[in-house]
Amino acid sequence: MLFAGRVSEADKARFYRTADVFVAPSTGQESFGIVLLEAMAAGLPVIASDIHGYKKVVQRNVTGLLVEPKDPDAITAALERLYADPAMRERLGSAGSRKAVEYDWTHVTERLVDLYQEVIQRRKPSV
């Protein structure tokens, strides 16, 4: 295990490429799981705290495993589960990789433009 602190984007990509699993034991202050999306885009199976912001990104047992926050035993059990089941690691990693594409800027930008157009149409005075 390595706690590297702040790393460059190149090192971050290298770490993702060499990892087997990504674990995010956050405690509840995250509004969105960008780190989860980065790991998912790299094809890693994800174990994350079952917190509001992360549940918007990780679908339980489909794109990752969700565990109770502040519960090291739950994290350990999830790691053991993934270690014992290589097929599950592959399935979660592949599903997460597909899910991460939905958050690519080209998709996000299209949805944002659509939303703006919808709001503009609603605000136009009817004639």
pLDDT given for residue 71 in this prediction = 97
CATH number at residue 102: 3.40.50.2000
Residue numbers of the domain that contains 87 = 9-123
| 3-class state of residue 97 by DSSP | helix
55: in domain: yes
8 A C-beta contact, residue 33 and residue 57: yes
8 A C-beta contact, residue 54 and residue 24: yes
53: in domain: yes
**In total, how many domains does the chain have?**
1
For 12-37, what is each residue's pLDDT tens digit?
989 999 999 999 999 888 778 899 99
40: in domain: yes
For the entire predicted model, the pTM comes to 0.81
35: in domain: yes
Residue 23 CB contacts under 8 Å (≥ 6 apart), including other chains: 46, 47, 48, 75, 79
Alpha helices in the chain (DSSP H): 9-18, 34-41, 52-55, 72-84, 86-101, 105-123
34: in domain: yes
Q: What is the DSSP letter of 65?
A: E
Question: Rounded distance, CA 18 to CA 39, Å?
Answer: 11
58: in domain: yes
75: in domain: yes
For 62-100, what is each residue's pLDDT tens digit?
999 999 999 999 999 999 999 999 999 999 999 999 999
Handedness of CA 32, 33, 38, 42 (dihedral sign): negative
